[in-house]
């Protein structure tokens, strides 16, 4: 039986990955900051699907938290076959309105943690000749959206570059770029969602099913919904200056995840 490690597993997209992968018979390593929620999630998934669910409490905004997860990923005796780097958050406010400490924490979680955990996982996977990594980014990666969009753009570029470097090794890497998903993401960031049209909201479980299908097909980039694929097609041909104006009016308040 294979094992998947999911960061930010207790809510939103991470929880949807945990539900789907456990239903498919994968053992899990569940990573988040809240031990109580992790234990409740592990018990529920074990009782429902008969899988083993290991709990790892870690704050990926800290070196100790990142190192704890990296050490688990590097464990050759208890290998991880799939890593889902899902942990992330948004900051409410425009550039210079957000405290610098919060901006740096975002880079720590979205970029440094993703880099270090992907490296730890893929090194062990390459030795075995198999494995996969899903790095959760956002469609915000493709438009000017301050630190959040920049960090997610880094995730996309890093993941696709690493995927090319590891081609032929048996290790697959994919950047997942969802749009607006009904999760705790916006509530935790203190962001309002009333102005977001209903058609732009995605279901987390359907998103995960599409993402896992794209990973199985060997894609290095997944935009798992026809609506957002069409929107990103428009973005590609829209002048950057116009995109920046639209983003300054809406994007900072309502960052997709």
pTM: 0.87
Q: What is the 3-state secondary structure (H, E, C) of 131-170?
A: EEEEEECCHHHHCCCHHHHHHHHHHHHHHHHHHHHCCCCC
Pick the catalytic residue: 89, 142, 148, 254? 148
Task: Based on the residue annotation, tell me whether 254 is a catalytic residue of this protein.
Answer: no
Is 91 in a helix, a strand, or coil? Answer: coil
Per-residue pLDDT tens digits for 10-27: 999 999 999 999 999 999
Which overall architecture, per CATH, does domain 3-251 show? 3-Layer(aba) Sandwich (3.40)
The residue whose two tokens read 């704050």 is 59
Separation CA 137–CA 158 (nearest Å): 11
Sign of the alpha-carbon torsion through 78, 83, 89, 94? positive
pLDDT along the chain (257 residues), means of 10: 95 96 98 98 98 98 98 98 96 92 98 98 98 96 89 98 98 94 55 58 91 97 81 62 44 42
Check residue 84 and give left, alpha or beta (phi > 0: left; psi -120 to 50: alpha): beta
């Amino acid at each position: 039986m294979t094992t998947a490690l999911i960061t930010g597993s207790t809510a939103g997209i991470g929880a949807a990955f945990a539900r789907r992968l456990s239903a498919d018979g994968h053992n899990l390593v569940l990573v988040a900051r809240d031990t109580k929620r992790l234990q409740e999630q592990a018990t529920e998934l074990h009782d429902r699907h008969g899988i083993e669910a290991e709990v790892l409490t870690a704050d990926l905004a800290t070196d100790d938290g990142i190192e704890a997860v990296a050490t688990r990923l590097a464990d050759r005796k208890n290998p991880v076959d799939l890593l889902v780097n899902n942990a992330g958050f948004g900051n409410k406010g425009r550039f210079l309105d957000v405290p610098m400490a919060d901006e740096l924490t975002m880079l720590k979680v979205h970029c440094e943690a993703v880099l270090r955990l992907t490296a730890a996982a893929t090194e062990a996977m390459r030795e075995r000749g198999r494995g996969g990594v899903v790095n959760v980014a956002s469609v915000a990666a493709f438009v000017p959206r301050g630190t959040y969009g920049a960090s997610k753009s880094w995730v996309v570029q890093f993941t696709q570059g690493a995927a090319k470097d590891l081609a032929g090794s048996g290790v697959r890497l994919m950047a997942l770029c969802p749009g607006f998903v009904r999760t705790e993401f916006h509530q935790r960031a203190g962001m309002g969602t009333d102005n977001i049209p209903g058609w732009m909201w995605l279901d987390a479980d359907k998103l995960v099913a599409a993402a896992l299908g794209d990973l199985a097909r060997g894609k290095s980039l997944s935009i798992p919904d026809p609506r957002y694929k069409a929107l990103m097609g428009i973005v590609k041909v829209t002048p950057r200056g116009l995109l920046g104006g639209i983003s300054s009016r809406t994007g900072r308040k309502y960052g997709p995840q």
